[in-house]
Amino acid sequence: MTTTLLLALDLVAAILTAAAWIGAAVLASGLRPVAPPDSAGSDGPATRRRRAGLTLALFGLGVLGVVAQGVFVALLAGGGWWFVQEKVVFALPLAGLAAIGGGILAAPALVRLARGHGTALGARGTAALVGAAAAGVAGVVARLVIGYPLELLPALVLLALVLLAAALAHAVAAGRPKRVVTGLAAFSALVLVASLGVVWLTSAALPGALAAAHEHVPTEARAADGVSVTALRTPADSPGAVRAFELTARHQEVTLASGTTVSAWTYGSLPGPELRVTQGDLVEATLHNADIDAGVTIHWHGFDVPAGEDGVAGVTQDAVLPGDSFTYRFVATDPGTYWYHTHQVSADGVRRGLYGTLVVLPPTGVPEDVDLTVPLHTVAGAVLLGDSDTAVARSVPAGASVRLRLVNTDQVPHRFRLDGAPFTFVAADGRDLIGPTPVTGKSLRIPAGGRLDLSVTMPESGVRLSSNASTEAVLSLAPDGAVIPGPVPEAADDLDLLPDLDLLQYGTPGGAGLPAGDGRVDATMVLDRNPRFLGTRPVYGYTVNGAVFPHIPSIEVSEGNRVRLTVVNRGWDTHPMHVHGHHVLVIERDGIRSTGSPLWLDTFDVQPGEVWVVEFVADNPGIWMDHCHNLDHAAEGMMMALTYRGVTSPFEQGGPHSNRAE
C-alpha cells in the first residue's frame, strides 16, 4: 500500500472513530437518571434499552476505529516518522486511553441498561463517553490542523481541552451547581480562545524567521563580520564579452496565433525574449518597468547567480516600480537551459506572462544542428508551446539532429511526448546527463519550473512534440515542414498510456560527484497543508514543518558545508520544490537510490507521500529562497530561506516598494 493510501485510510479511521464516539456521547445524554414519569419527552423503558444498545454499539465501533488506526499507523511508520509522529505520540495513546476509560466507566453500565437492568448511565460513564468523543476530535485535529511536528504545548492544550470536556460532562451529569458548570465551560472557552489568540498574535507579529536573518546581526557588527547581499554582486568590470539586454516589463495586449487576444504582463513579448549567450559571456540585463504597478524583478531560475543578482523582491533587492530600472549582471559560467521570471508577486506576475528563457551555450556550441527552446506556459486560459497556441510546423532536413529544450513555466507538472523517432535526454535543469540512451514509448514529466533537453535525429517522416496541456499547441518538425497528425485517437489523455521516464534510473553513473565539503548540515522539510494564519489572514496554508512563510525557520549553513536535505510530502498536492542559488544532487527517492546519471536539479517534484533526499555543497553565499514552484502554494505559505551565516539583507517584505517575494 502506498503512503498516500495509508494516510487516507488512517484519516478515515480517525474521523469514523470521532464520529462514532460523538454519536455515543450524544445518545448517552438521553440515558440520564429517569425523569418523573409524567414529564414530557422522557423515553419509555424499551426506548431506553434500545438507546443504551445503540450507544454501546457506537462506542464499540469507535474502539474498532482505534484498532484500525493502530494498524494503519504501524504500516505507515515504514514510510518514516514524519508521517506518524502526531499519531504515535498523541492521537493513538489518547484514543487508547479513551477506549479503556469508556470500557471501564461506561460499557458495563450500558450493557446493564441495554438488558433492562439498571436505571441510568451515571455521571462517570457520561464523562467517559464525552471525553472519548473529545479525544476522537483531538486526534483528527492533531492530524489535520497541527500536523508535523506536533510540539508539546499544542499537545498539552488539546489534552487539557479533552479533560475539560469530560469534566464538564461529569459536572452536568452529576447535577453540580450551575456556577460550577458555567465556570468549567467558561474556562474551556478561555483555553481555546487564548491558544488561538496566541497563534494569531505570533503569526501577525513581524519580523518572522526570514527577517530574523538580518535582524539578529546588529547594524554596527554587519560591516565587521557580515556581508550584505548587496555586496554579493558581479563587478561591472568582470571578464567576459559583454552581452547587454534591455527588458521592459509592461502591460501588453497580445494577439496569439489562434487569433485570441490576451491581456498580459510581458517583458516585451510573450514569452519574453530568449536570451542566448555563450559560456564565459558577461550578461548584463537591464530591467525597466513601464507600467506594472505591482512592481517587477527578474529571477534567473536555475542559473546560480551571485546572491545579489537573484532578483527576489524583499530579499535581494527592492521591487522595481514603474519608471524604475535595475541592471543584473552575471558571468555565464554554466551552459544549459534556464528561464527567467519575476519574483515580485510572482504567482500573479508569472502567470500573466512575465517569463522568458535563458540559454547558455558551450563555447563550441551544442552538437545538434538545430536548437529550439520550447517553453510551455498557460496564460489567460491559452496554452503556449513556444510562442504559439496552435499547431506549428517547421521544416528540418532528414538526418539533421535537433535539440529541444523543454521548459515548464506553469504552476503544475506537465507531461510531454515526442512521437516519430527515438530520442535521448541530454540534460535536466541545465546539467548534462551522462550516458543517455535512446528512449521510445515514454512520456516526460517535467515539474513546474523544470527543464529537460532532448536530442533527436530527424527521420523522413518527421517528429511531433505534444503535451498533456493542450491538443492545439503541438510542434511538428519534418523535412517537408508538414503538420504531423497526432496519434489516434487524438487526445491529450493519450499521454496516460505512456509510462513516465524515471530520470533516477536513466543514464550511467559518473562525473565529478559532490565535493566532500566541510561540516555537515541535515535539514528536513515536511510539506503539508494546514489551517494557519498568513500574517493576520486565516488560510488553508501550504506548510513546511507546520509553519508558513515567513515563520518557517531558515536552513542555516556556513560556506563549504555539505547539506543533506530530506523533503517529505505529507499532503495531497504535488510540490515542485525549487532551491535558489544551488543545484542539488538527487540521492534517493522513497528509499530507492538514484542509480542512473548523477541528477543535478534545481526543481524536483515531490509527489504526495514521497520522500526525497538530496545533497549539495553550500558554495554560493547568500540568502536564498527555497520554495514550492507551484507559485500559488508559495503565496499560501510554502516558502522559506536557506541562509548563510553572516550574510545579511537590508531588504524586507512590504515596505515602500510593497515587496512581496511570492
Binding site for ligand C2O (CB under 6 A): 299, 301, 341, 343, 449, 578, 580, 625, 627, 629
What element of type H or E holds 465? strand 463-467
Minimum CB distance to Cu ion, residue 630 (Å):
4
CA pair distance 571, 544, nearest whole angstrom: 11
| Bridge-based pairing state of the strands 272-278 and 355-361 | parallel
Give the one entry of ligand C2O, Cu ion, none that residue 629 binds, where binding means its C-beta sits below a cut-off of 5 to 8 angstroms depending on kind.
Answer: ligand C2O
Q: Which residues contact 330 (CB under 8 A, 6 or more apart)?
A: 234, 282, 283, 300, 303, 305, 306, 309
**Considering beta carbons, is residue 124 or 445 the nearer one to Cu ion?**
445
Minimum CB distance to ligand C2O, residue 200 (Å):
28
3-state secondary structure 203-239: HHCCCCHHHHHHHCCCHHHHHHHCEEHHHCCCCCCCC
CA pair distance 312, 299, nearest whole angstrom: 6
As given in the structure block, the three cell numbers for residue 40 are 414530557
Minimum CB distance to Cu ion, residue 274 (Å):
27
Segment contacting Cu ion by CB under 5 A, of 180-188, 281-289, 563-571, 621-629: 621-629
Minimum CB distance to ligand C2O, residue 605 (Å):
14
Q: Examine residue 570 and tell whether it contacts Cu ion (CB under 5 A).
A: no
Give the one entry of ligand C2O, Cu ion, none that residue 288 binds, where binding means its C-beta sits below a cut-off of 5 to 8 angstroms depending on kind.
Answer: none
CA pseudo-torsion sign 37, 41, 44, 49 = negative
Minimum CB distance to ligand C2O, residue 163 (Å):
45
The single residue among 633, 651, 652, 660 that binds Cu ion, judged by CB under 5 A, is: 633
Give the one entry of ligand C2O, Cu ion, none that residue 214 binds, where binding means its C-beta sits below a cut-off of 5 to 8 angstroms depending on kind.
Answer: none
Minimum CB distance to ligand C2O, residue 630 (Å):
11
Q: Examine residue 344 and tell whether it contacts Cu ion (CB under 5 A).
A: no
Q: What is the CA radius of gyration of the chain?
A: 30
CA pair distance 285, 304, nearest whole angstrom: 15
Segment contacting Cu ion by CB under 5 A, of 198-206, 276-284, 441-449, 572-580: 572-580
Minimum CB distance to ligand C2O, residue 339 (Å):
7
β-partners of residue 317 are 313
**Considering beta carbons, is residue 81 or 572 the nearer one to Cu ion?**
572
**Considering beta carbons, is residue 247 or 396 the nearer one to ligand C2O?**
247
CA pair distance 489, 497, nearest whole angstrom: 12
**Considering beta carbons, is residue 310 or 573 the nearer one to ligand C2O?**
310
What element of type H or E holds 521? strand 520-534
Contact string 378-397 vs Cu ion (x = CB under 5 A): --------------------
The single residue among 390, 630, 648, 653 that binds Cu ion, judged by CB under 5 A, is: 630
Report CA-CA distances (Å) from 95 to 7, 18, 102, 646.
17, 9, 10, 47
**Considering beta carbons, is residue 91 or 628 the nearer one to Cu ion?**
628
3-state secondary structure 28-64: HHHHCCCCCCCCCCCCCHHHHHHHHHHHHHHHHHHHH
The single residue among 343, 464, 551, 575 that binds Cu ion, judged by CB under 5 A, is: 575
Segment contacting Cu ion by CB under 5 A, of 185-193, 262-270, 456-464, 628-636: 628-636
**Considering beta carbons, is residue 188 or 630 the nearer one to ligand C2O?**
630
As given in the structure block, the three cell numbers for residue 490 are 487524438
CA pair distance 266, 263, nearest whole angstrom: 9
Give the one entry of Cu ion, ligand C2O, none that residue 301 binds, where binding means its C-beta sits below a cut-off of 5 to 8 angstroms depending on kind.
Answer: ligand C2O
- Binding stretches for Cu ion (CB under 5 A): 575, 628, 630, 633
